[in-house]
Every structure is written in structure tokens, then in C-alpha cells.
Chain A
Amino acid sequence: METIKINIDNKIVEVEKGATILKAAKQVGVHIPTLCHLHLHDLNIENKPAGCRICVVEVAGRRNLAPACVTECYEGMVINTNNIKVLNARKTVLELILSDHPSDCLICSKNGNCELQSMAQDFGVREIHYEGEKSTYRADTSPAIIRDVDKCIMCRRCEMMCNDVQTVGVLSAVNRGFMSVVAPAFERNLDHSECTYCGQCVAVCPTGALTEVDHTNAVIRALADPSKTVIVQTAPAVRAALGEEFGMEPGTLVTGKMAAALRRLGFNYVFDTDFAADLTIMEEGTELLDRLNRHLQGDTSVALPILTSCCPGWVNFFEHQFPEMRDIPSTARSPQQMFGAITKTYFADKIGVKRENMVVVSVMPCLAKKYECQRDEFKTNGNPDVDFSISTRELAHLIKQLNISFNELPEEDFDHPLGESTGAAVIFGTTGGVIEAAVRTAYELQTGKKLEKVDFEELRGMDFIREATIDFDGLPIRIGIAHGLGNARKLLEEIKAGRSEYHAIEIMACPGGCIGGGGQPLHHGDSSILKARQKALYSEDAGKTLRKSHENPYIIELYKEFLGKPCGELSHHLLHTHYFDKSVEVSVVE
């Protein structure tokens, strides 16, 4: 590494050549405040429009102040990050941003978790010297995301996520000057766009401009209704992140405390989406093997590769952008929906409660799940299989609101039967996990042999596109993995062009998979948090006795008692779905 010497705040330091002032300062422990800048190192995602101008510093010999986030260091550079000129400029710029920002902090859903608010706190802003007209826009509520763009500070992070990372292209900066803001085309509502509700915009928004639709009150109402049996399911990735909302280290597993908290909240049954994840593997794995074997036998009518379908953001993505390829993904429903379908049939029968009197709540790291559970195809006579989907953040709010001291809770178990799961299910929460779980089961089903080593390191990691060939006892199975929709697009384009040689591909809409979902506690740009969550999931898997979905005794029982066999008729009805062409046709009126 080539290094250069620079002077930061009167300290001579050696830094990497080509480093920005921001990076160099960090190396030597000087914290320069930033607002628009976002750098997810481990994912190689960076947003640096240099637009907010908060990170300005003084560089000797330069006419104006330099934005630290994009200014490269050079040999002998003399930098001052905190003299009076810099501080005055920074505070003035912050006051300007605040002058065009609603001051309803107390009732803002980002209260206490807002980067702008904490900056105002750090800077000790007690008065805004430049009050004036505020730019105001129409608020927009969709099934999953609320846009309150009066609070937009034009950091452009959401735009970058939506376009560069996810390639969904729903958001763009629109208008000019004072009225410029990030919005969908024609400033229409999100539900009139191709939004996948992946929620990555929400995950990076520094203010309250983009937030989730909050269902906590609906859940509280259901819990308070004595005529309802309220059942909760929690997704794998939630347990690896919820602790952060209560001050725990990232990567702390809170499975037991979470179950305890849910029970104290008053849920009648505390179940686990992991159960449904195991069920998904049974269905999806069977489907994979079926397609694979037919393909191997020369049946040209089967489409390969098979793509996973448990991520609702990803489903929305291909329905909008690749509708012509909608026969390629597995028809298996997502674990959330499988859970709902089984709960409101099999389990309802078991406990003798009518589905109308049953409320199924899911706790998800995801915002697209809010939209998914509202899809018509997942309703019976208008009654949805899953009534409410709340995010990890909403669950934290619920716990806080109901005066539960989370950190002091004992570790408890999930209820039976739908609370039991294997290690294969818990890794659903990270990129690579679904396909690893599928491989564990498919290998044994296909070869009839016992899989000795269940850890497939070659499928793990954070690289956006990964591939591996797994030896199915002499049969090489080629696996592809993509997370982030932009990377999914690359694989889809390959398939479309007939260049894809994979048998199976796992796709997760969010970078990192569900651990980086749009409903998770905010990472505020620290991607090491995602890594810690990932590690936690793999450690929970490693600690389990049962690590293959088909070994889950309650799954075996479910098939025996109710479903018959994987991909059987009842499965087809309850656990599989079909996809729609949601591409927009331009209406032409003659």
C-alpha cells in the first residue's frame, strides 16, 4: 500500500494514497460528521453525491471548503476539520437543512433514530437563523411504505439504492432547485409504480421521509379482542437483529427473549416462521428434484434453472420487470404465506377455531411482506392467511410500548407444533441460506444417502453473485446465488439470453438477504452489523441438533396427518401459487 503524509488538525499522519479526507480522518480517529454519505463497505455500496455539504473541512491553499467525503488526500495536504470557519459553515448548512424540514420530531416515527435529529443534537442547534418557506409535497401511503417527502433532505441514498443497487428504477430526483425531491415518476404514489417494496430506501433514509406502514396499533387491537385467537410467527432474521433495538451488540441472538416477549405481549400462540421454512424446503426441494430429473431424462418442457421464491420483493420484481419469465421461479409460496395457510387450516382445525376468529401476525425483517400478505391470492373469502405483517422495528416499538423490559426477560421456547424448526430453516435469513437448506434436503432425497457434512461454506459469504457446484454423488449440481435485485437482474438477463448453466438459483432482494431487510433495525451505514447478524444465524444453525428440514418431526407429522406428500394436491392448493404479469402497458387512446 502506497502511503502519503498529511496533516489533519495539526497531527501528521500517514494514510493510504488515494484515500478521501473522510476515510483518512477516520483512520486517525477524527470523526467528521456526514449526512448524505453512506458507505456499506462489506457490500461495496457507496453513496457520495457530495450534496449535503455537512462534511466540509478547510484545506490549506484552497479557495473554498472541501467536502471530506469526496476530496482525495495528496502528499503534504494540510486539513483543518474543526476551526471556526468550518464549524460556522457546517452549522449554517445544517440550519438551512432544518429550515426546510418539518419540526414535528416529537411525533415523527423516526424520533430518536433520525440522523438529522442526532446531528442537530450534536451541533447544539438551539435556533434556526434562516427560517423561510418550506418545500411541501403530497404524502404517499402504499401497502408497505410511507413517503413523507417534506422530510426529504435530498441525500439521494434511496435513489441510489433503488437504481444502482436494486435497479428497480422507481425513484428519481425530480424537479429542480428548491422543489427538487426524490419521487416516483410523475410524483405518483408508490403503488402506481413498479416498486417491489423491498424497503431498501427505507433502510437507508436518514430522516423520516421514508418509513414503513405501521401496523402496531392493529396488532394491539387484535390482542385486546377476546374473541380472537392471535398467533404470531417470527422470521429467521428477526432474532439476529431485534436485540440491537434494546442496546445489545449487533449479532446478539435473542430467540428465547423474543419468544418470551411475544408471549408477554399476549399472543395466544408464539410460533416460528422457521417451521414454515422447513416446509418450504420440502416443497421447493421436491419441485427442484422433479424438474431436475425430468430435465435429465430429456424432457425439454421443463424450465431450468429453478429460482427460489420465498422473497416477496424478488417476486414483485420479476412480475414487473421479467413477466415473460414468470414460469421459472418455484411455485412454492414464501414461508410467511405457507405458515398462514397451514395455521388457518390445519392448526385451526386442530384447536377448533374458525379462521375468521384467528389473527395471524408475522414479524418480518421485511416491508414487502406487508404487501405480500395483502395479495388476493392469499385470501380465502376475503380473509387473509396472514392478517398483519410487522417489521422487526415495529415489534421493538410494541415491546417498548407495552412496558416489557426486554433485556431482563428469560429465554423461552416457541410453542408447538408450529414453533419447531431445524438449523436449515434459521439460515433462511441470510443470503445463501435458502439454497444451502435446499441442498441439504435435496441431496439426501436425490441420492438416498446421508449427508455427512452439512456446512456448505462455498455457498456462504457476502459477494453479490456467488456460484458453486455441489456434487450430488456424482451428479454435479450448479448453484447460483444473488442478493440485491441488481444482481438478480444480471442472472435473469443471462437466463433470458440462454447463457445460464445453473440448475438452481437463490435470489434475495435485499443486500445480505433478510438480515439486511427493509424492516430491520437501521444499520445507519455500518455494514459490519449485517455481517454480525449473518454470523449469528450460522451459529444458531450450528447449535441445532436437527439441521435438515426433512428431519423436522413436526413437518413429518404435518405431511402424515394433513398434507400427504410434498407437491401433492393439498400442497398445491395451500402451499403453491402462481405469478402475474404486472408490466405496465402504455394506454393509447385513438
Chain B
Amino acid sequence: MTQVKSLADLRKIKDDLQGKMGLREKSNSPESLVQIRVAMATCGIASGAKQVMEFFMEELDKRNIQAVVTQTGCMGYCFAEPTVEITLPGQAPVVYGYVDTAKADSIIEKYIKNGELVEGIIPVNYETIQK
């Protein structure tokens, strides 16, 4: 195993590990970050939700955006799968339907980065168990 020989070495290890721990780290204070919830029930997965989720995770990381990507159960909009719920800090959640990687890309670039709404919003009318 490599020996840590300086503060720089240590920081490098830490940076390498960020991705791994980031998930937990971010979920500690999700309200201050962008939260992305991908519906990952059978219908979602069948429509490619998995790829969408992976795309979000990788791209957000690459583009250096602090976000929490979570999977949830079926949101009830099976007709519009894959569905993704985006919550910007301090804002109400917005749900997008028919999300593929291309759509995901524009969600990141437009909505997440600049707050511009993208086409394909589904009206929110479900309740979570917390409520």
C-alpha cells in the first residue's frame, strides 16, 4: 500500500475518495444541494431509468455540480417514464417525464445550471409517505 508522505499525498487520497464518500456527505445536507430523484420502479427501469441515473451521476460529477442523486419508487407517471424529480435549493420540486440522456443533458445545462425550465414538466400531485 502507498505511504502517505505529505499533506499533498493525503489530499490526493482524499480527492480520489470524494466520489465514493460524496454520496453520504451530500445526503447529510441535501436541502442545500440539487436533489435529483429518479423513479426506479420496474416501469422506470424498463424505460431506461438506470442509464439516466448513471448519466446524471457521472455528468454532474464531471461538470462539478454538487448534487444528490437518489432513486425513488414509482411516482405514478408510468406513461411518462423515465421520470425524474429535480429539486433546486429552496425551490419546489419539478418533475420531468420521458427523460433520456439527451434530455438529461439539457436539464443539467439549462434547469440545474441556470434555472430555465425545460420542456416536459409533469404536474406534481402525489404525496410521499412523510406527509
- Indicate whether A and B are direct neighbours in the complex (CB within 8 Å): no
Q: Which residues of A contact B (CB under 8 A)?
A: none
